[in-house]
Amino acid sequence: MTGALGSGKTTWAVNAGLALKSGGKRVAFADLDIINPYFCLREIASQMEVLGVDVALPPGDARWSDIPVVSSEVSRLLVSDHDHLFLDVGGEAKGVLALKQFAPFLEESGYDFLMVLNPFRPQTCTPQAVLQMRREMERLSGLAVTGLLGNAHLMDQTETNDVVRGLSEIRRISDVLDLPLLFVGVEESLFNGAQKALPGGENLLWPLIRPILFPWERGVSLDGERTSLD
């Protein structure tokens, strides 16, 4: 999964992966974010492991550095017997450089390369901007983007009408790019209202729980690790 910075890539990866795990699938994750060591899988790795999920992280002291290091554990997971492996890639086009070394294997074994899209962010607010980002991602990774996941939100200011408006914009972008729109994420508390406001479009909606909270949202000391997964 990839997308613009702050689009919700990790949120989507965790929600989709844990949903599959709850259905009995064997799921693993790999943190391939070489852009920003914060607000990515490594922040909640310990909670994921408690849930019985295999997570590959940058090794040793590189875990919290901004040095572009990818764990050798990713190669192990690629040939493991998991049903699904989620590769959480860094934001913007240059973030997908982490995929380049795995492209031949992914081409051979099969993959879904999903772009998470928030149409309210300036980098992805028009079809032309998203198309340019897509082309650059494909050029740098050597892989083809296969679909879109929507995540239309304005953080804690999001209201139901924003979800409705966002879905309309994402559908327009999906048509221009000729890419399938798989699901549109909706903050859990807005899910029921969005379903009622979108007759005929409710099958696209997926209630999302934000797994990584800002420090001031956690209600714990600075050395605490509590997130919404607890």
* 167-180 residues labelled b (16+ CB within 10 A) or e (exposed): bebbbebbeebebe
Nearest-angstrom CA–CA distance, 135 and 96? 12
What average pLDDT values come out for the chain (230 residues) when binned by 10 residues?
84 89 89 62 68 69 53 77 86 78 89 94 92 93 95 88 92 95 92 87 83 49 45
- Identify the pLDDT of residue 145: 95
Q: Are 180 and 174 in contact (CB under 8 A)?
A: yes
Nearest-angstrom CA–CA distance, 40 and 45? 9
- Identify the pLDDT of residue 220: 42
Q: Report residue 116: phi and psi, to 5°.
A: -85, 130
Nearest-angstrom CA–CA distance, 57 and 32? 8
- Identify the pLDDT of residue 67: 53
- Identify the pLDDT of residue 217: 47
- Identify the pLDDT of residue 225: 45
- Identify the pLDDT of residue 222: 37
- Identify the pLDDT of residue 224: 43
- Identify the pLDDT of residue 57: 66
Q: Which CATH number fits domain 2-218: 3.40.30.10, 3.40.50.300, 3.90.1640.10, 3.50.50.100?
A: 3.40.50.300
- Identify the pLDDT of residue 59: 55
* The token pair that represents 82 in the structure block: 């998991």
